[in-house]
Amino acid sequence: MSFGLPLRLVRTASFGLALLYATLLAASAVILGFIVYATVQASVDRQMDARIEAEIEILTGEFRSEGSAELAREVETRINYFGALEYFLADADGKRLAGSLSNPPATDGWSDIAITEPQHGKYPKYFRVKTVHLDNGYRLVVGDDLGSKDDIRRAFLGALGWALLAFLVLTLAAGALLSSAFLRRVDAIARTAEAIIDGDLGSRVPLRGTNDNFDRLSATLNRMLDQIHLLMESLSQVSNDIAHALRTPLGRLRQRLEVARATSKANSKCTTTIDAALDETDNILDTFSALLRIAQIESGTRTAGFREIDLSKLFETVSEAFSAAAEDEGRTLTAKIAPSLNFWGDGDLISEMLANLLDNAIRHTPQGAHIEVSLVNDGSQLVATVADDGPGVPKSDRERIFRRFYRVEGSIRTAGTGLGLSLVAAVAELHGMKFCATDNKPGLRVTLIFDCGVLNTRRPRSQGSRAIDHDLAHAAHEIARRGSERAEEGAIAKARECTPMRMRAGPSSTFLTV
């Protein structure tokens, strides 16, 4: 879209095609032209020769019947005719009797000669001549100016050139016209695609009702979009159904455990078991809630909660809330927050995003680690970072930490759903932020770029529904793994441990753009 219209026209397939046809047609026109030209030239040559032959025939007859003097007179007369040929008549001694041709060839037959005459400038004139010897040593030469043939060639080539030029201009104009029509149709499709990417799933390619190729393609695309829309709707329906289907029985399980807990004898083994079961149930429910929440955020329907928020105040509140807890856990948390920076977004979700980053930093660093939160305005955008000096994350794993259930190999198995940073990614995408994880040398640095240039009503790609069934499978796997870890350190548990986590394929660049 950044190119001007002329350049875009030239880059279209139809214009390229028009250009190709124009070149091929021009080439065939040139070939045709030269064939015609050669034929015309040959015919002109034949006519010239025939005329000279005829002239010689007449003059030879004259010579035979009337004699040399009469022939000389006849030649002098003919010289003055309009469009006359060139003549030369000499006696046996070579003395000129009549005619204007200078220095003609002495041998009989056809030849082309060049004559430089002062009145014609420094360029010679060319003549085609035929020499015949008459009786008594008389020599007659008749010739014609080849310049007339040049005139024909020049006229012909000129005409061909103009025709070619007109031809090219017309072809290019037709190509441009065709291409702009083509571009309009393509642009209509592109606009529809953009609208769909922006979340308007009901958008369709407009039809012209002409039933041409484009209309048929558009209709096919529209049918495909209808189908995708239907699938997406049923997927989100399915994910909602799963959420309800699983949360309701889990909720009842929790209620029953609580009733059992309330009615069991205090401090008995039964009570501790029920407490552990309640904890496990809460963990499972947490995982489901987090998954559904991420899916809900990713579906992009939560922009209703967007307001103008004081981002500086929000960052201060969250980092202040965490700093004392971090200190109690043996980490230091410092905040460098520029004042009065505003942003358009969902304050609750951004608080949760920052809290998850801080949770993550506190949980994955050793005692004595230093964590720094910063928020600055770098002119055009707000840049937030959460950096620690802990063990960090290997380069190859840095993008994956934002995926669901991802854990860095060899990291301590800590409590949590494994979904904290996925929520960070989902909230960032909802707000059109860019985010990335980099090396803090040592440690991990997560950078968030709040772009204030756009009002963030843009909806993200809906990955939620696509990923949900996959994620539920993960959740089941994760729950099974935790369960088995607690139950026994048996072979089955070990086998499950070794099962590699399936990952969603993601972009290969370190910077994840939205």
We find the least distance from the C-beta atom of residue 318 to other proteins, in angstroms, to be 8
Which tokens hold the place of 204?
A: 């369709």
Write the DSSP string, 27-92. Answer: HHHHHHHHHHHHHHHHHHHHHHHHHHHHHHHHHHHHHHHH-HHHHHHHHHHHHTSTT--EEEEE-T
Smallest CA-to-CA distance from 224 within 210, 200, 204 is with 204
Q: Which is nearer to other proteins, 302 or 398 (CB)?
A: 302
We find the least distance from the C-beta atom of residue 239 to other proteins, in angstroms, to be 13
Taking CA atoms, 408 is separated from 16, 112, 414, 436, 500, in Å, by 52, 95, 11, 16, 12
We find the least distance from the C-beta atom of residue 372 to other proteins, in angstroms, to be 16
Q: Which is nearer to other proteins, 20 or 325 (CB)?
A: 325
Q: Which is nearer to other proteins, 95 or 265 (CB)?
A: 265
- Per-residue burial over 42-52, b if 16 or more Cβ lie within 10 Å, else e, is eeeeeebeeeb
Q: Which is nearer to other proteins, 141 or 358 (CB)?
A: 358
Taking CA atoms, 341 is separated from 314, 444, 500, in Å, by 10, 25, 43
Q: Which is nearer to other proteins, 363 or 434 (CB)?
A: 363
We find the least distance from the C-beta atom of residue 244 to other proteins, in angstroms, to be 6
Contact set with other proteins (CB under 8 A): 244, 247-248, 250-252, 254-255, 258-259, 262, 275, 285-286, 289, 292-293, 296, 301-302, 304-305, 317, 320-322, 324-329, 346, 348-349, 351-352, 355-356, 358-359, 362-363, 415-416, 420
Please enumerate in sequence order all residues whose Cβ is within 8 A of that of 323, keeping only pairs 6 or more positions apart, or say none: 333, 334, 335
We find the least distance from the C-beta atom of residue 362 to other proteins, in angstroms, to be 5
We find the least distance from the C-beta atom of residue 289 to other proteins, in angstroms, to be 6
Q: Which is nearer to other proteins, 117 or 320 (CB)?
A: 320
Q: Which is nearer to other proteins, 314 or 341 (CB)?
A: 314
Question: Sign of the C-alpha dihedral, residues 92, 98, 102, 108?
Answer: negative
We find the least distance from the C-beta atom of residue 355 to other proteins, in angstroms, to be 5
Cβ pair 456, 345 in contact under 8 A: yes
- Collapse the DSSP code of 490 into the 3-class scheme (helix H, G, I; strand E, B; otherwise coil) and give the result: coil
Q: Which is nearer to other proteins, 204 or 363 (CB)?
A: 363
- Per-residue burial over 420-446, b if 16 or more Cβ lie within 10 Å, else e, is bbbbbbbbbbbbbbbbbbbebeebbbb
Quote the distance between the C-alpha of residue 150 and its chain's center: 54
We find the least distance from the C-beta atom of residue 418 to other proteins, in angstroms, to be 11
